Chains A and B, each alone.
Chain A
Amino acid sequence: MVETALLLPPLLSAIILGSLYALMAMGLTLIYSTIRILNFAHGAFFMAGAYIVWWLNTPESATRLFGTMIPVSGLQLPLFVAVIPAVIIIFGAGVVTQKALILPLIRKPNTLITTLVATLALATILESVATVIFGGGRFSYAQELVVGNVRFGELIVTYVEIIQFAVAIGVLAALYLFLKKSRIGIGMRAVAQDLDAASLCGINTQTVYLLTFGIGAALAALAGFLLTNTIFLSPSVGATPLTIAFIVVVFGGIGSVPGTVIASYVVALVQQYVTLLLDPSWGLSFAFILMIAVLIIRPRGLFGFKET
């Protein structure tokens, strides 16, 4: 039997990890609910954001470990500074993707499938580009984001984890306010709920699409940066987060913002406890099994709306 004291650390990890999953998955949810496409390049934006931070942050001296072929900017920006240009660049990459890749495919037949294949292709290309530039090795940042930890009795929480949690929650809260109150946010929700009615309200739906894709990609990049403070960075680092984000999004009810948040924590909890009680390698599989079980009973997920 597992002692109750042992059950607490996974709960804490699940809360931190769940917040990061929610941040990652929210980008997919926004893009699906507004543009009605599934973005398989989401994991690649996650990866690319982290590499840009790494490139801006890593000192040249550190690359000697990897040989001389690995490029770094030499700017040595602190991590929390480097993340800003990284997120902005990936926002721009998202806008360009919508304009150059999605827009030509949308409003033609089979949009869901064609955009799925196109974003999958984009993901593969970005992964190859990362491999060509940085090699296939596993990197980590030259410094910790912040050093230290706090103790709550038996529990130890690192400052890095606290920052991961706080930034994820803070950004999600800001996003909520943005969607609720701002002009563009209201436009995004209007487009998501009724495209024709939205355009009759004077909403430029093309612009809303561009911004939505940009914001979705930026969220992935931010999640990529936050998570790679505690996991290794590699060209394929986005694959698992992408899978998890899809589980979360489908499980929570595709397109549902509250569903995405709740499902993120459920998946993280399942993963953490399965890791503790069984084996780490089972964590994700059990999350999948749970999702499938829920979908059999409730095909539109926990909070999904009926398609109208």
Chain B
Amino acid sequence: MLVLENVRSGYGQVEVLKGVSLEIKKGEYAAIIGANGHGKTTILRTASGLLRPSSGRVKFDGEDITGMPPYKVAEKGLIHIPEGARLFPQMTVQENLVAGAFAKSSWRNKAKNLARVYQLFPNIAERKNQLALTLSGGERQTVAIARGLMAENVKLLMIDEPSAGLAPILIDEVYEKIGEIRKTGVGVLVVEQSPKRIADCDCIYLIENGEVRMQGSAKEVLESKEVMQAYLGS
């Protein structure tokens, strides 16, 4: 579904990704782990078109999307929920969700998708007229995921650190919801710091210094010497 081939990417002169290759299959549940500042977010930003790779290819659903602007990538069904939720602070919860349905094909079905999203996340339905800037961290993360699901025909949801800054009980809730989303056949790729949250992933990539240090099943990666070392004491 999503394929990165030897992707190099970064910010201006600074190269962050030094040849990253990965493949996430249709409907798969995958995770990217790694220490701070090693390029996890940069991988998602390059996949969604916010960054243009300096070399390498990005493919999605059999199509080459390298260098495609983000709005077109989103229309293809590759949805990126950015780190820190990045809601529109001066808009209400509902307006944020409606903004997620901007693409013409999504706009047509926005009433239906709103109902679906509110059913999936009843706690944000209660807050639909509240300004986003007044939400709690957990609510903000939920609205960000919900906003991503307002697009028609979501095929792969890339969520950057859904658990950042949340209390453990809220993290459980967020991952429960991610589980429900996966049941609808949508693929999910999460960036996650905490190994225990991703024990049921189909596939995990360990990123180090802008390269894939290790990849494999959850069991292989999480029980490996590298990950043990990286996360021991952290």
A204 to B70, CA, bound (A): 8
| Interface pair A189/B88, CB less than 8 Å apart | yes
Q: Which A166-217 residues have a C-beta within 8 angstroms of B? A: 183, 186-187, 189-190, 193-194, 196-206
Q: Which B residues, 71 to 89, have Cβ-Cβ distances below 8 Å to chain A?
A: 71, 74-75, 79-82, 86-89
- Interchain residue pairs with CB less than 8 A apart (27): A183-B107, A186-B91, A186-B98, A186-B102, A187-B102, A189-B88, A189-B99, A190-B91, A190-B99, A190-B102, A194-B88, A196-B86, A197-B82, A198-B88, A198-B99, A199-B69, A199-B70, A199-B74, A200-B81, A200-B82, A200-B86, A200-B148, A202-B75, A202-B102, A203-B71, A204-B69, A204-B71
- Measured CB to CB, the closest approach of chain A to B220, in angstroms, equals 32
Query: Contacts of B99 on A, CB cut-off 8 Å?
Result: 186-187, 189-190, 198, 201, 203
Shortest Cβ distance from A184 into B: residue: B102
- Of B79, B95, B101, B107, the contact of A200 (CB 8 Å cutoff): B79
Whether the pair B151, A202 counts as a contact (CB closer than 8 A) is yes
- In the complex, the answer to whether B88 meets A202 with C-beta atoms within 8 Å is no
Interface centre among B81, B91, B107 (most CB of A within 10 A): B91
Which A residues contact B (CB, under 8 angstroms)? 183, 186-187, 189-190, 193-194, 196-206, 305, 308
Of A183, A193, A196, which is within 8 A of B89 by CB?
A193
Q: How far is the CA of A200 from the CA of B86 in the complex (A)?
A: 10
Contact of B71 among A193, A194, A202, A305 (CB under 8 A): A202
| CA A194 to CA B98, docked complex, whole Å | 15
| Contacting pair A196 B107 (CB below 8 A) | no
Q: Which residues of B contact A (CB under 8 A)?
A: 48-50, 69-71, 74-75, 79-82, 86-91, 95, 98-103, 106-107, 147-148, 151
Complex Cα distance A250/B101, Å? Answer: 33
CB distance from A224 to the nearest CB of B (A): 30
Specify which of A199, A203, A308 lies most central, judged by the most chain B CB atoms within 10 Å of its CB: A199
A contact residues around B71 at 8 Å (CB) = 199, 201-205
Chain B hits for A198, CB < 8 A: 88, 99
List residues of chain B with CB within 8 A of the CB of A183. 102, 107
| Cβ–Cβ < 8 Å partners of A193 in chain B | 88-91
Which partner residue on chain B sits nearest A180 by CB separation? B95
Given contacts A196-B50, A199-B70, contact A189 B102 (CB under 8 A): no
A193 to B70, CA, bound (A): 17
Q: Is the Cβ of A196 less than 8 Å from the Cβ of B91?
A: no
Which residues on the B side are within 8 Å of A189 (C-beta)? 88, 90-91, 95, 99
